[in-house]
Every structure is written in structure tokens, then in C-alpha cells.
């Protein structure tokens, strides 16, 4: 298993989470691709999106694959004057993972995290497992617990 997947699995195991990282047949760099391979609604995919604040800090937003993040709303929620999608090198530095495979956990250091309250509408959600070919099943409550995230309306 890829070292990023091992790091994600180690966090899940240490936290007593029942989900296990699974390797997909094909890369799933988007929520639609992941949902199609897993046979679930696109809204049940927890996208891990890294943004950069005006202060240059990373912000992880775990959002339902069914919608897009409202960056103005989220910027106001976290108290920054600007929020922009992070560039690939910024994402890699903050998470140790590449865009398309960023997991909600397994990063070199904790990242401030918001968890989309719309994920509560799904009994099971799927998140990336550290590479574009990996995912793991979890629940909304478990995502909040694992990440120490703040529940928010992000769309």
C-alpha cells in the first residue's frame, strides 16, 4: 500500500474507526468519478479541498460532492479577508498528498478543518485515502471526530 494510504489507515486504526482504506481500480480525482466507481450518490463523497487564507494558512474544507464551496461565505466563517483554492505545491506541502487524493487525515501537521453539514444527509460517506486511487468509508460524525473539524454550511 502507498505510504500515504498507510498514514491514513494508521490514523483510522488509532482512532478506533472501522473504515479501511480501499484501492480503486481507477483513479477517482473527482467526486463524480469516485461516486461512479463506488455506486453511491455524488453527495456522499466527502471532497477534501485545501484553500489558502489571506494569511497564507491552509484550510481544509470537507464538502459534499454534490455542491461547490462558497469561498466568500467560508472566508467570513473563518475570519479571513480572502480564501482561494490552493495551488498544487501548497496542497502537497500542507498535506503530503496530491490534489485528487487528499484525505481528511494523515497530514504532517493538523490543518484547520470545516466539515460540510450537508454530509449529515448520508448514513455513510466516502473520503479520499491519500492518493487518487484510494478511498475509505466513514460517517459524518466520525469525520468530525477524526479531523477535529468544525461543522459548517460551506455551500
pLDDT at res. 3: 95
pLDDT at res. 121: 94
* pLDDT exceeds cutoff 90 at 64: yes
Contact, 34 vs 23, CB < 8 A? no
pLDDT at res. 89: 97
Cα separation, 35 vs 65, in Å, equals 9
Domains of the chain by residue range:
3-152
How many CA atoms, within 13 angstroms, populate the side-chain half-sphere of residue 129? 24
* pLDDT exceeds cutoff 90 at 30: no
Maximal C-alpha separation, the chain: 41
How many CA atoms, within 13 angstroms, populate the side-chain half-sphere of residue 55? 7
CATH class of the structural domain 3-152? alpha beta
Contact, 61 vs 71, CB < 8 A? no
Instruction: Find the Cα–Cα–Cα–Cα dihedral 51, 52, 57, 62, rounded to 10°.
Output: -10
pLDDT at res. 29: 84
At a CB cut-off of 8 Å and minimum separation 6, what does 92 contact?
A: 98
SS3 content of the chain, % helix, strand, coil (to 5): 35, 25, 45
Mean pLDDT for all residues in the chain: 96
Q: Would you give the DSSP letter of residue 151? A: E
**Mean per-residue pLDDT, 64-82:** 95
Amino acid at each position: 500500500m502507498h505510504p500515504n494510504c498507510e498514514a491514513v489507515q494508521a490514523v483510522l486504526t488509532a482512532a478506533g474507526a472501522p473504515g479501511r482504506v480501499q484501492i480503486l481500480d481507477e483513479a477517482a480525482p473527482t467526486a463524480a468519478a469516485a461516486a461512479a466507481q463506488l455506486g453511491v450518490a455524488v453527495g456522499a463523497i466527502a471532497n477534501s479541498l485545501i484553500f489558502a487564507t489571506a494569511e497564507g494558512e491552509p484550510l481544509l474544507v470537507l464538502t459534499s460532492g454534490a455542491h461547490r464551496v462558497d469561498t466568500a461565505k467560508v472566508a467570513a466563517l473563518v475570519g479571513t479577508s480572502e480564501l482561494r483554492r490552493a495551488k498544487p505545491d501548497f496542497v502537497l506541502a500542507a498535506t503530503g498528498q496530491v490534489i485528487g487524493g487528499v484525505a481528511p487525515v494523515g497530514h504532517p501537521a493538523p490543518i484547520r478543518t470545516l466539515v460540510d453539514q450537508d454530509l449529515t444527509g448520508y448514513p455513510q460517506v466516502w473520503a479520499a485515502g491519500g492518493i487518487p486511487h484510494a478511498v475509505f468509508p466513514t460517517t459524518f460524525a466520525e469525520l468530525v471526530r477524526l479531523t477535529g473539524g468544525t461543522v459548517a454550511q460551506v455551500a
